[in-house]
C-alpha cells in the first residue's frame, strides 16, 4: 500500500515534468505547425543551465546569503535562457523555411538538435551536472515509514501551476486570443493587422520556455546528463500523440497516462515498458489520428 502511494506520487512527478516539455512542443506545433525535433535538447539545455547556475552560486558561497529560497529562485534562469535561445532560433533558422514543405522544418530542427547537443558538451563537459543540494535541503517527509523527498511535491505543484497558468494565458488573455487566431488562420490574422512574425517569435519562445522550465525543475532531482534530451523528446512525442498535437488538455492527460503506464511498467513489465508506450502511441495514431483531445 505504501509502495503504491509512493509510486503514484512518483508518476505525478514524472507527469509534471513531461507536461512541461510536451505542452511546449504542443504549443509550438499548434501555433506554427512545426514539430520541433530539438525540443528535448532544449529541455536538456535548460537542465544544464539551471544546474550550472545553482552550482556556481553554491561554489561562490552564496549559500548562506541566498538560502534555500534564493536557490529555488535561481532555477528558472535556465528556463529564461532557453526562451532566449528560442527567440533567437525562430527568426534565424525557421522563418526562412515557412514557405517550404514541412520536411525541411523537421530537418532544420534535427540539425539544431545536433548543434545544441554538442554545444552542451562544449559548455558543460561530459560529466553529469546536478543541483542535488536543493533537493537535500528541501528535506523529506515520512509516508507510512518511508522517506519521500518533499521536493517532488514542489515539482508536482509547479506542473499544476503551469497547467493552470497556460490555460488561463491561452483562453483568458488577449494575447491568448491572438495566439489562437493566428494558429487558426495565419493569413487572416495578418490581414487583420496582427504582427504575425512577432507572434511566432513569442509563441516559439514560450514553447521553449516550457521545455527549459521542465529541465530546470527536474535537475535537483536528477542530474543533467548528455543524451537526456533525445530520450525526453520521444516521450514528449508519445504524450502529444496520445493527447493530440496542439492541444493543451491533451498534453496534460497524455502526460498523466504516459507517466502512469511508465511507473506501472517499471514495476510490473520492465522489459517492455518503453515498447508499450510507443505501441500505445502507434495505436492512438491509428484509431484516432488527432489524439484524444486534438481537432483535425
Partner 1 sequence: MKEKEAAAGASLWRLVAAAVLILAALAVLPRFVDPYQTVLLTYGLIMAIAALGFNLLLGYTALLSFGHSAYFGAGAYAVAFMMRDLGVQSMEVFIIGGMLGTLAIAALFGFVCVRHTRIFFGILTLALSQVLWSLAFKFFWFSGGTDGIRVGYANLNLLAGLIDFKGPGSYQRFVFSYYYYILALFALATVIMWVIVHSPFGKALQAIRDNETRARFVGISVRRYRWIAFMISGVFTGLAGILWVPLNGLTTPDILYWPFSGEIVFMTVLGGFRTFAGPIVGAVAFNYLKTYAVASTEYWQLLLGAVLVALIMLLPAGIVGTAARLWSKLARRA
Q: Is 97 in the site for partner 1 (CB under 8 A)?
A: yes
Helices 248-268 and 228-243: crossing angle in degrees, nearest 10, is: 120
H or E stretch including 133? helix 132-138
Least distance from C-beta 277 to partner 1, angstroms? 8
Complex with partner 1: residue 102 or 136, whichever CB lies closer: 102
Question: Nearer Cβ to partner 1, position 4 or 122?
Answer: 122
Told to check if 103 binds partner 1 by CB under 8 A, we report yes
Cα–Cα dist 137/217, whole Å? 15
Cβ atoms of 17 and 217 within 8 Å: the answer is yes
Per-residue contact flags (x/-) with partner 1 for residues 6 to 45, judged by CB under 8 A: -----------------------------x-x--------
Applying CB under 8 A, among 91, 137, 278, 292 the residue interacting with partner 1 is 278
Residue 192 backbone class (left: φ over 0; alpha: ψ -120 to 50; beta: rest): alpha
Q: How far is the CB of 102 from partner 1 (least distance, A)?
A: 6
Is 172 a binder of partner 1 (CB under 8 A)? no
Query: Site mask, partner 1, residues 118-137, x = CB under 8 A?
Result: xx-xx---------------
Asked if 102 interacts with partner 1 (CB under 8 A), we say yes
Whole-number Å distance between alpha carbons of 256 and 10:
11
Q: Is 9 exposed, middle or buried (0-12, 13-18, 19+ CB in 10 A)?
A: middle
- How far is residue 131 from each of residues 152, 153, 185, 224, measured CA to CA in Å? 14, 17, 43, 9
**Interface with partner 1 by CB under 8 A: which residues?**
35, 37, 93, 96-97, 100, 102-104, 106-108, 110-119, 121-122, 230, 234, 237-238, 241, 245, 270-275, 278-279, 281-282, 285-286, 289
Amino acid at each position: 500500500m505504501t509502495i503504491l502511494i509512493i509510486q503514484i506520487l512518483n508518476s505525478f512527478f514524472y507527469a509534471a515534468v513531461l507536461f512541461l516539455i510536451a505542452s511546449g512542443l504542443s504549443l509550438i506545433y499548434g501555433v506554427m505547425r512545426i514539430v520541433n525535433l530539438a525540443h528535448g535538447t532544449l529541455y536538456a539545455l535548460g537542465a544544464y543551465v539551471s544546474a550550472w547556475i545553482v552550482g556556481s552560486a553554491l561554489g561562490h558561497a552564496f549559500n548562506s546569503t541566498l538560502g534555500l529560497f534564493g536557490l529555488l529562485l535561481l532555477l528558472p534562469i535556465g528556463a529564461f535562457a532557453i526562451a532566449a535561445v528560442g527567440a533567437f532560433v525562430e527568426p534565424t533558422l525557421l522563418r526562412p523555411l515557412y514557405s517550404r514543405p514541412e520536411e525541411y522544418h523537421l530537418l532544420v530542427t534535427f540539425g539544431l538538435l545536433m548543434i545544441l547537443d554538442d554545444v552542451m558538451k562544449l559548455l558543460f563537459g561530459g560529466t553529469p551536472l546536478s543541483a542535488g543540494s536543493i533537493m537535500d535541503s528541501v528535506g523529506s517527509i515520512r509516508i507510512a515509514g518511508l522517506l519521500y523527498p518533499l521536493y517532488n511535491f514542489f515539482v508536482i505543484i509547479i506542473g499544476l501551476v503551469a497547467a493552470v497558468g497556460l490555460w488561463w494565458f491561452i483562453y483568458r488573455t488577449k494575447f491568448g486570443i491572438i495566439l489562437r487566431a493566428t494558429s487558426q488562420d495565419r493569413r487572416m490574422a495578418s490581414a487583420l493587422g496582427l504582427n504575425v512574425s512577432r507572434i511566432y517569435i513569442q509563441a516559439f519562445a514560450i514553447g521553449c520556455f516550457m521545455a527549459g522550465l521542465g529541465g530546470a525543475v527536474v535537475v535537483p532531482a536528477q542530474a543533467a546528463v548528455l543524451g537526456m534530451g533525445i530520450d525526453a523528446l520521444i516521450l514528449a512525442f508519445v504524450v502529444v500523440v496520445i493527447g493530440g498535437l496542439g492541444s493543451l488538455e491533451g498534453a496534460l492527460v497524455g502526460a498523466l497516462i504516459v507517466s502512469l503506464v511508465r511507473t506501472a511498467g517499471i514495476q510490473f513489465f520492465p522489459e517492455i515498458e518503453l515498447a508499450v508506450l510507443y505501441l500505445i502511441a502507434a495505436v492512438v495514431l491509428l484509431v484516432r489520428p488527432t489524439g484524444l483531445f486534438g481537432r483535425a
